[in-house]
Amino acid sequence: MDLGFIITNAIVLSCIYGTLAIGISITWSSVGLINLSYGFIFAFAGYGAWYTAQFLSENGAIVLAAGILSGAFAGIVVCALAFIPIHDKPNFNVRGLIATLAISLIGTQGLMWWFGPRSKNLPDIFGSWSVMLGDMALTADKIGNVVTSIAFVAAVVLWMRSSRRGLEIRAMMMNPHAASIVGIGVRSTGFYVMAITGGMAGLAAVLLSQTYYISPFGGLTPMIKGVSIALCGGLGSVQGAVIAAMILGLNEAITSVTLGGQYVLITQFILIIGILLVRPRGIAGILDRAREA
């Protein structure tokens, strides 16, 4: 196992997990919901893409789009179930968290019931070519993963910066109460946010399926990684999530090289706990102060 291989792997994975982390971060900071059904959205999007690949077309772009769309759909369903009915009720934060946990339980068991425990795999989306960089072979899926995830996240961030809806979402992030006073619909914004972050989960699901498989419970580990990156970067901050994804990816690469693969999670958590002990709101967690209430 050479260094270059590990580093490229770490970069690819941190790009994918970073996408998830940014999704979790945006959800939390704009609608105030810790979305623990993100793993279910991830798995659902994977199955959506798999269905498309089975019955519609194996074209990479179509499969990718199907994954994103089914992720967005699952996000909307989660929003309708866990955000709309209780977002103005007392104790929403905790109840929303538990509601998403319940959706996660129902959803993953439903997938298990419908598709069975056998895992599925998707076709190669980006083809099977490779580029030699020095003595290192960069395969198509690695380059494709990195480019696609960065492009998608950049597109979302740009959209949030430049569009009217993005302005609404950013206003919700800063002060949800004031945003609703000036006429920004909390519910409609909730649907937009959940659809977009669901789409991010869908994208991550399709991209990760180039390395791993799709299974009903396959969303759990990516979700936990995404959550830890989002925590570490500071819930609600895109830049923080990017920095945290890079740090944790680096940690993963270094640990795999020096200690061995099975210690990755341990060092990762020690690192996260260390960072959180120094900065309890994460690396860039200043925005979060607006979301205290």
Partner 1 sequence: MANFWRNPLFGWGVDRAEESQPTLPHRPPQEPWDENRKSKVEMFPVGRPRLYYKWPGHGGWTWNRKRYWPTRRRLLNIRGEYNPKTMRREKTIVDKRPLWWVMALSFMVIAPWVMPEDFQTTLLTAGATFAIYAAINLVWMLVIGTAGIYSLATYAVVGAAGFGTAWLSINLGVPWYVLPFIGSAIGLVFGLIIAIPATRLDGFYYALLTLGLNELCRVYALQSKIFGSSTGGLYGADTYISEHWDDTTQSLVAYFACLTLMVLALVLFRFVNGKRIGRVLRMAPEKREAFAEATGVNFRQARIMVFVVSSIALGFIGGFYTAHYRGVSFSIFSFDTVLLGVAMLVIGGIGRAEGAVAGAAIVIFLDKALLSLGPIRLIIIGTIMLGVVLFLRGGLFGIKPQFRAWRDKKKSERRSTRAEKGGEMLPEEATETRDKDLIYWRRYDKMQRDFLKKLVSPEVIEEHRKSPLGQHSEALERLLLYFRRAPLSDKYAIIAVEPFKAYRIVALSGQRGVAPRIVEDRIYASQEEAYHGIFMRRVQDLLES
179 and 166 in contact (C-beta within 8 Å)?
no
In one-letter notation, the amino acid at residue 46 is G
Q: Of residues 202-261, which lie at the interface with partner 1 (CB under 8 A)?
A: 217, 220-221, 224, 227-228, 231, 235
Span near partner 1 by CB under 8 A; candidates 109-117, 122-130, 155-163, 179-187: 109-117
Q: Give the shortest CB-108-to-partner 1 separation in angstroms.
A: 8
Q: CA of 17: how far to CAs of 23, 134, 191, 229, in Å?
A: 10, 27, 23, 8
Query: What tokens appear for 216 in the block?
Result: 């009903």
Sort 131 into a burial class: Cβ within 10 Å, 0-12 / 13-18 / 19+. Answer: exposed
For residue 132, what is the enclosing H or E element? strand 130-133
Question: Any contact of residue 277 with partner 1 (CB under 8 A)?
Answer: yes
Q: Give the shortest CB-79-to-partner 1 separation in angstroms.
A: 13
Q: Of residues 124-153, which lie at the interface with partner 1 (CB under 8 A)?
A: none
Helices (H), the chain: 3-31, 38-55, 60-78, 92-115, 140-162, 164-174, 176-181, 186-208, 220-233, 238-258, 264-278
Question: Any contact of residue 118 with partner 1 (CB under 8 A)?
Answer: no
In the block, tokens 């500071």 appear at 234
Among 110, 124, 171, 290, binds partner 1 (CB under 8 A): 110
Give CA angle at 81 (69, 95), nearest 5°. 125
**How many residues make contact with partner 1 (CB under 8 A)?**
46
Question: Any contact of residue 35 with partner 1 (CB under 8 A)?
Answer: no
Measured in degrees and rounded to the nearest 5, phi and psi for residue 57 equal: -160, 150
Per-residue interface string for the shown chain with partner 1, residues 69-108, x marking contact by CB under 8 A: ------------xx--xx---xx-xxx-xxx-xxxxxx--
Span near partner 1 by CB under 8 A; candidates 13-21, 139-147, 187-195, 265-273: 265-273
Span near partner 1 by CB under 8 A; candidates 41-49, 127-135, 171-179, 272-280: 272-280
Residues that bind partner 1 (CB under 8 A): 28, 34, 36, 39, 81-82, 85-86, 90-91, 93-95, 97-99, 101-106, 109-110, 112-113, 217, 220-221, 224, 227-228, 231, 235, 262, 265-266, 269, 272-273, 276-277, 280-282, 292
